[in-house]
């Protein structure tokens, strides 16, 4: 999400201003919640919150990020899906499968079109055609064809890697096995879903057989496709809509509308309601028309997707973080119902945050049975004054767990008492304290609290961190409770401990020689790790994947990064200013990084872990034949040939490091009209200053 988009979310949220401290605490809480929700939804087909709650949390994060952009890189707004399940083979997507930014009002859509116009520097009256398509509530998939033959199918996974579900997809009658007149390589993307009628019939069969009842069609479709036994998939009534293009060996269309026509010619089912619209008014009219017809459609939809029609514009627009600039999902509003709150449970998260969860009398809301809802935090619970026994208003927008809007006061039982938030951790019994001006209460148990140990180690071994197969939640919990591991470095000593101890893992139920051998091999394979993954795996607050990559590329090696952070701790020195000059790393992010390094026990754990590993130096993402690969670049002043956003994106795609301020380590300053203090500093330090045209000549040399 670009800065303009975040500012729009801030305006849309209309939330009261937060102090920097309050903003960072609230953002950290939201990151923890949404990360958990993503894992449950994408990896376990067991969503914990409804779309309304999820979207509301993301909108609040974006509003905070409008004021504190440095928080954006640790945000789930920059991530896609979740890691593939260990039960399937993995497929790396040649072209990432991105998630979509969301719009919730007509004005959001108009702002989306306005951002496109500004990014491409189009005239105010220049037409921008969009294709509007119903947003199917199913499971995103990728279909690869080679020489017209279907050879591989995969789920979206985390956007970079998905699950290999080729054999399961072959059971779909609507999937073409062979297509004529296709390019040598063609990747088609779409959605596997279940119609409302098929969903009801499946649940009737499941109930009659005493099997699991699915909560909604989306869960049924995802659970049916992600079966290790393809015969189960074959027995389920799954449908398919194709709607997008991934990797292709040669162009097949000039626009999205043309590509949809091509898909139909090849025999793929496409949504007949998809419509090319000439302007923003037309797409908004389409949205409201579909909304009126929504209940009568044979399948669930949770909004409408708008895509820029021209492929050349899509290519220029590119993507920001994990969302394309050229597409957006216009979501439908939530549905509401009432039910009774039976009890409130306190859950403990990875950082020790205590989160209240409402357990409800199950109720059907828009065709979905819901039974639990998050109450977010102590303040939110107190503000709504929700009590056990209350009849509460809940709302949802297409998933399982609703948002609690508030109590129906005239139905409150006479003996209902305000909920007393605990002052001790329900997991370990340690004190749960709330700092001054903090929005959340946290367990002080640290590594003595099983809830935190498990979640911290789960993050460490997760897909985008160390990616150790065989260390899923169940096995992590077993190893912790059995005293086998308590910190990251213990994982890499596990094989030695197993060999030398009196007990052997392979003798425990559910393990065995083969499983243990595979686990030790997986751990051994991760003794060599990329620097960016190592940094991300440490779980430093505000250091997400993107920030870890920037740190790795900037410092190059673990030793240099470690020493630079120690040197920067005193602040207001060259090392500190070098740190905050990195793009999107401001003082707030730097504070959290340096706080990590300022703790002796963190350094001990860091060095203990590093001693077990080979940490690879960072590599530039682009081939070294780029003239600016590895160069630190600062843009200042006005650009005329392209917007500042496009210029930065182009520089980074060529391997340059775009930094926010000038220092001795800066290689180029690109100065346009109106350049001020940065230009003066560059001239003072003797750094190469280029005009915009000189910069373009450098990165686009005439052959």
Distance CA 276, CA 334 (A): 27
Do strands 632-636 and 668-671 pair parallel, antiparallel, or not at all (unpaired)?
Answer: parallel
Q: Which two tokens stand for residue 561?
A: 């990064």
CB atoms within 10 A of CB 621: 13
Distance CA 314, CA 293 (A): 30
Name the 3-class secondary structure at 23. Answer: helix
CA dihedral 309, 315, 320, 326 (to 10 degrees): -10
Question: In sequence order, which residues have a C-beta less than 8 Å from that of residue 66 and are 6 or more positions away?
Answer: 3, 6, 7, 9, 10
Looking at residue 131, the DSSP 8-state letter turns out to be E
Distance CA 171, CA 231 (A): 8
What is the three-state SS of 146-165? ECCEEEEEEECCCCCEEEEC
For the annotated catalytic residues, the residue numbers are 135
Looking at residue 624, the DSSP 8-state letter turns out to be T
Q: Which two tokens stand for residue 237?
A: 């009534």
Contact call for residues 391 and 411 (beta carbons, < 8 A): yes
CA distances in angstroms from 698 to 131, 623, 635, 639, 678, listed in the order given: 37, 16, 15, 16, 21
Phi, psi of 326 (to 5 degrees): -100, 10
CB atoms within 10 A of CB 661: 16
CA distances in angstroms from 497 to 101, 176, 261, 448, 467, listed in the order given: 47, 52, 61, 21, 22
């Amino acid at each position: 999400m670009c800065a303009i988009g975040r500012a729009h979310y801030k305006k849309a949220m209309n939330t009261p201003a937060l102090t920097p401290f309050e903003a960072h605490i609230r953002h950290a809480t939201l990151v923890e919640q949404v990360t958990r929700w993503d894992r449950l939804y994408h990896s376990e087909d067991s969503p914990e919150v409804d779309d309304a709650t999820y979207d509301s949390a993301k909108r609040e994060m974006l509003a905070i990020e409008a004021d504190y952009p440095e928080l954006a890189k640790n945000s789930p707004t920059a991530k896609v899906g979740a890691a593939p399940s260990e039960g399937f083979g993995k497929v790396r997507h040649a072209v990432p499968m991105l998630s979509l930014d969301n719009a919730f009002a007509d004005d959001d859509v108009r702002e989306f079109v306005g951002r496109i116009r500004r990014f491409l520097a189009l005239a105010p009256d220049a037409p921008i055609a969009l294709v509007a398509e119903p947003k199917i509530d199913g499971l995103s998939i990728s279909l690869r064809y080679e020489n017209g033959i279907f050879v591989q199918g995969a789920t979206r996974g985390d956007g970079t890697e998905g699950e290999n579900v080729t054999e399961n997809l072959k059971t779909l009658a609507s999937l073409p096995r062979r297509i004529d007149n296709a390019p040598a390589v063609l990747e088609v993307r779409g959605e596997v879903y279940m119609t409302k009628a098929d969903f009801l019939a499946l649940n009737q069969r499941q109930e009659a057989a005493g099997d699991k009842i699915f909560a909604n069609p989306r869960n049924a479709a995802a659970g049916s496709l992600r079966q290790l036994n393809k015969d189960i998939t074959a027995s389920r009534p799954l449908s398919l809509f194709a709607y997008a293009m991934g990797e292709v060996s040669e162009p097949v269309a000039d626009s999205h509308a043309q590509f949809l026509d091509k898909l139909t010619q090849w025999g793929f089912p496409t949504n007949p309601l998809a419509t090319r619209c000439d302007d923003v008014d037309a797409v908004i009219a389409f949205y409201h028309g579909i909304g009126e017809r929504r209940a009568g459609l044979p399948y669930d939809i949770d909004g409408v997707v708008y895509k820029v029609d021209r492929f050349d514009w899509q290519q220029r627009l590119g993507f920001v973080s994990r969302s394309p600039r050229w597409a957006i999902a216009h979501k439908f509003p939530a549905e509401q119902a009432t039910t009774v709150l039976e009890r409130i449970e306190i859950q403990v998260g990875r950082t020790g945050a205590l989160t209240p969860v409402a357990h409800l009398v199950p109720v059907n809301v828009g065709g979905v049975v819901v039974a639990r809802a998050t109450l977010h935090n102590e303040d939110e619970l107190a503000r709504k004054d929700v009590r056990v026994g209350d009849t509460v208003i809940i709302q949802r927008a297409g998933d399982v767990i609703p948002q609690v809007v508030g109590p129906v006061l005239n139905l409150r039982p006479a003996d209902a008492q305000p909920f007393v938030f605990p002052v001790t951790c329900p997991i370990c019994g340690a004190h749960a304290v709330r700092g001054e001006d903090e929005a959340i209460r946290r367990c002080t148990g640290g590594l003595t609290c099983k809830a935190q140990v498990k979640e911290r180690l789960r993050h460490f071994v997760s897909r985008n961190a160390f990616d150790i197969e065989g260390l899923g939640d169940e096995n992590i919990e077993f190893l912790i409770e059995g005293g086998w591991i308590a910190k990251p470095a213990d994982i890499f000593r596990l094989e030695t401990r197993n060999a030398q101890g009196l007990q052997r893992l392979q003798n425990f139920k559910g393990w065995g020689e083969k499983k243990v051998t595979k686990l030790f091999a997986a751990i051994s394979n991760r003794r060599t790790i990329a620097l960016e993954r190592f940094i991300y795996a440490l779980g430093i607050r505000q250091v997400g994947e993107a920030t870890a990559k920037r740190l790795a590329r900037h410092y190059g090696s673990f030793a240099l990064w470690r020493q630079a952070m120690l040197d920067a701790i005193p602040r207001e020195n060259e090392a500190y200013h070098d740190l905050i000059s990195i793009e999107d790393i401001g003082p707030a992010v730097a504070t959290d990084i340096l706080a990590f390094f300022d703790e002796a026990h963190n350094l001990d754990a860091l060095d203990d872990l590093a001693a077990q590993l080979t940490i690879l130096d960072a590599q530039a993402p682009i081939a070294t034949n780029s003239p600016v690969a590895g160069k630190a670049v600062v843009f200042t002043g006005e650009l005329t040939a392209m917007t500042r956003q496009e210029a930065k994106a182009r520089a980074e795609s060529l391997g340059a490091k775009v930094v926010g301020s000038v220092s001795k380590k800066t290689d180029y300053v690109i100065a346009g009209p109106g350049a001020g203090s940065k230009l003066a500093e560059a001239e003072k330090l003797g750094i190469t200053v280029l005009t915009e045209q000189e910069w373009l000549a450098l990165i686009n040399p005439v052959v």
